Amino acid sequence: MTKLRNGTLVVVADSEKALFLVNRTDDEDPHLQVVDKETEDNPPDREQTANRRGRQSESTGPRTYAYDETDFHELQKERFASDLADRLYKMAHAGKYDHLVLVASPQVLGVVRDEMHKEVAEKLIATIDKTLTNHQLHEIEEIVKNDLDDGSPAAA
């Protein structure tokens, strides 16, 4: 069972928003306080794409093929998660936290885990595979507490 200690940094993120919360009490009755938040303006791909897809004609017949376009919206989601991993490293290196709980969507968790520095991994006490960025703070406290208390596989 993982404990949500006093001073634990809890980062709640999706692919466009991250809340940085610190537990100001103990694991019995957590009180998360917002210390920072980060949002990314990421309009839909259709608003980020300026050109029509490229085309190529087949050399042996009348067929024409369209190239797949880069999905800038998805690319920005991955970049946001990568930037989050970098920020967590800088914060860990500066001694801003000793314990970390990461609550994020599966896609964000995957990218952050892939790019997580060893210094951050050593401070990571739990990950919770949920998207909670649009929940109220008291709901986040309750969900995090319950997930850590029940020792579910996602909180390991």
135 Cβ neighbours under 8 A, 6+ residues apart: 143
Cα gap 77→134, rounded to integer Å = 17
Q: What mean pLDDT comes out for the span 23-38?
A: 89
Residue 42, pLDDT above cutoff 50: no
Sort 87 into a burial class: Cβ within 10 Å, 0-12 / 13-18 / 19+.
Answer: middle
Residue 38 is classified by DSSP as E
Q: What mean pLDDT comes out for the span 10-19?
A: 93
What's the confidence (pLDDT) of residue 4? Answer: 87
Q: Is 74 helix (H, G, I), strand (E, B) or coil?
A: helix
Q: Kindly report the CA angle at 93 between 124 and 77, in degrees rounded to 5?
A: 65
Residue 156, pLDDT above cutoff 50: no
Q: What mean pLDDT comes out for the span 53-59?
A: 54
Query: pLDDT by residue (tens digit) across 133-154?
Result: 999 999 999 999 999 987 654 4
What's the confidence (pLDDT) of residue 74? Answer: 65
- b/e per residue, 9-25, with b = 16+ CB within 10 A? bbbbbbbbbbbbbbbee
Confidence band, pLDDT 50/70/90 cuts, at residue 15: confident
What's the confidence (pLDDT) of residue 78? Answer: 75
Cα gap 4→141, rounded to integer Å = 10
State the angle between helix axes of 72-93 and 106-115 in degrees (0 to 180), rounded to the nearest 10.
50
Percent of the chain whose pLDDT exceeds 70: 71
Confidence band, pLDDT 50/70/90 cuts, at residue 40: low
Query: pLDDT by residue (tens digit) across 68-97?
Result: 555 565 666 678 888 999 999 999 999 999
Domains present along the chain, CATH in parentheses: 9-39+71-155 (3.30.420.60)
What's the confidence (pLDDT) of residue 10? Answer: 97
